[in-house]
């Protein structure tokens, strides 16, 4: 049996503490483009799809593109087994995120607790929004549940979107019998709470959706950004 090390238990307080007691260094890193944004990758494993593939692949693509990842619950177990939750994993990240992680001595994938601790992610998002004086929905943030299956995941996803965070599901929810419900969750909510759901089972494509979303939010805040329309799947994947 092989073993791997993990670094766990990053509360909001410990993250802010590592930044010197204020969210400003993280805000500055995002503003400068060293960190493009942040994504909460959460949720269970689903017996209908290969175990851990969605969590690990999506996380790898995000950190490669300088996007900080925070994880909880079963997703964290997958990332831990993949070696993504130790300070040395900074070498897996893009140049900007790598530099920040090495300066602070933290992994590019931060464990924030069990599956019912997702509120901690929202508390951190609220701290960033308060520091900038904007709504959470304006921040370059996203959520993802690549392998979810349980009923509580539905409730968690609903309050994350209701808080203003765009969320990508890797498994189709049982709503496709109603066009009205699909249109509400995938489009209509955006005009009400500033966020919506998307469904994309391929973690490579999900990473592209999230990157486009983050760059769109950066543009909206007047931060240096990449044209979202230029972000595409790598040719070898698209083929």
Domains of the chain as residue ranges with CATH: 12-238 (3.40.50.2030)
> pLDDT for 170-186, tens place per residue?
999 888 899 999 999 99
- H helix or E strand, kind and range, residue 193: helix 190-193
Q: Is the pLDDT of residue 68 over 60?
A: yes
Residues β-bridged to residue 198: 168
Predicted TM-score of the model (pTM): 0.93
Q: Is the pLDDT of residue 55 over 50?
A: yes
CA 70 – CA 119 distance, rounded (Å): 12
3-state percent breakdown (helix, strand, coil) of the chain, nearest 5: 50, 10, 40
> pLDDT for 155-175, tens place per residue?
888 999 999 999 999 999 888
Task: For residue 183, count CB atoms less than 10 angstroms from its CB and return exposed for 0-12, middle for 13-18, buried for 19 or more.
Answer: exposed
Q: Yes or no: say if 108 and 68 are a contact pair by the CB < 8 Å rule.
A: yes
CA 92 – CA 80 distance, rounded (Å): 14
Sorting pLDDT into bands at 50, 70 and 90, what band is 4? confident
């Amino acid at each position: 049996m092989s073993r791997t090390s993990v670094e766990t238990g990053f509360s909001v307080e410990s993250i802010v503490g590592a930044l010197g007691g204020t969210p400003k260094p993280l805000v500055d890193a995002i503003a400068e483009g060293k960190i493009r944004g942040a994504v909460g990758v959460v949720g269970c494993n689903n017996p209908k799809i290969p175990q851990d593939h969605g969590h690990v692949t999506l996380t790898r693509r995000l950190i490669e593109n300088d996007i900080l990842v925070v994880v909880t619950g079963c997703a964290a177990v997958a990332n831990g087994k993949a070696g993504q939750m130790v300070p040395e994993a900074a070498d897996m990240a893009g140049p900007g995120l790598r530099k920040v992680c090495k300066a602070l001595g933290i992994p590019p994938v931060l464990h924030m607790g069990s599956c019912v601790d997702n509120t901690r992610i929202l508390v951190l998002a609220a701290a960033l929004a308060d520091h900038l004086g904007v709504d959470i929905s304006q921040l370059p943030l996203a959520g993802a549940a690549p392998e979810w299956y349980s009923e509580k995941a539905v409730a968690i996803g609903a309050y994350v979107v209701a808080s203003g965070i765009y969320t990508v599901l890797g498994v189709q929810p049982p709503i496709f019998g109603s066009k009205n419900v699909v249109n509400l969750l995938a489009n209509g909510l955006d005009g009400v709470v500033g966020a919506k759901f998307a469904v994309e089972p391929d973690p490579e494509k999900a990473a592209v959706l999230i990157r486009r979303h983050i760059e769109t939010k950066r543009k909206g805040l007047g931060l240096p950004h990449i044209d979202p329309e230029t972000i595409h799947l790598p040719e070898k994947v698209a083929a």
